[in-house]
Amino acid sequence: MLMSSDSRPLKFSLAINEALYQSMETDADVMLIGQGVKSPWYVGQTAHRLLATFGPERVIDTPVSENAITGAAVGAAIAGMKPVVVHPRMDFMFYAFDPMMNEAANWRYMSAGRAPCSVVFWGIINRGGEQGAQHSQALHALFAHIPGLKVVMPSTPFDAKGLLIAAIREPNPVVFIDDRFLYEITEEVPQKIYEVPIGKGIVRRLGTDVTMISISYGAHLTMKAAAMLADKGIEAEVVDLRSAKPIDIDLIKASVKKTGKVAVVDVGWRSFGISAEVSALIHEHCFSDLRRSVLRIALPDIPAPAARTLEKDYYFNEYDIAKNVMELLTPQ
């Protein structure tokens, strides 16, 4: 990725803040609504300086009522605004399913394309830290299942800024999901406003021995695993989907054709998740290129434990990914 002289190191959380600030600065219809957005340190400074700059009419701090907050944002979008509604713990987006799925997702279809619904549903994954089953869930597969919703999940500061700007400019509703485990990651990010296209993945690392496909924090871990595999003489190609819906099948097909062996890494549960969908797409589109069955690495189909000792077994890391891929490559 080439960077111009106007780039500088930026943390993931501050890249989100910059995307919001520049979008609101250039488009008076963009607004932010949600719990705690008036706080300057809110969620890793993602809402820093917004209230002071744009005022309480465009940065609306709300009571704890996810359904009402989201319904208000969808109504504002139908009226022509471009709201970003934030859910600091995406587990509680369950309360917002009706305005998201029944209204926003269907609005453009029901109006035969005449009435856009430009709204961003920003959900944050809060895995680990002994938060337990009700505060640790990654729900991207649920949203990706719904027609009318697009789902993006950045893994780098560059993509966090570019995907959020693209989501805000999109006439259809977009679910933007980030992971707090990524918030301290720093990368060179351009100061100018730019978009990362929705539905277009990226090859993070070139390789010929195996394709490793992931998204969000999983892509971060997969890059670490690929570096470990390289030390053992295994060159893994790392594909970061960036969008859970639509999925960049052309990028996947090109990589699978080259390597013939695939591991899919997902930060959500195994059953009916993104790993299952990507695996199915590969078998549908790339079956003749496969030399082994697709390996899936995902969370077990149980709620997240609260005890730190159990979390170590529940959440996989780069060592687990590398170990499983080594087994995939072992001759049978």
Asked, as a colleague might, if the bond just before 246 is cis with ω within 30 of 0, I would say: yes
Measured CA to CA, the distance from residue 95 to residue 249 in angstroms comes to 32
Give the torsion sign (CA, 220, 226, 228, 230).
Answer: negative
Q: Which amino acid is at 20?
A: L
SS3 assignment, position 289: helix
Task: Give residue 235's Cα distance to chain centre.
Answer: 26
Residue 32 near residue 87 (C-beta atoms within 8 A): no
- Which DSSP category does 101 fall into? I
Q: Is 87 a catalytic residue?
A: no
Task: Please state, as a whole number, how many other Cβ atoms lie within 10 Å of the Cβ of residue 199.
Answer: 16
Residue-wise over 271-304: b if at least 16 C-beta within 10 A, else e?
eebbbbbbbebbeeebeebbeeebbbbbbeeeeb
Find the catalytic residue in 135, 140, 145, 285: 135
Active-site residues: which are they? 135
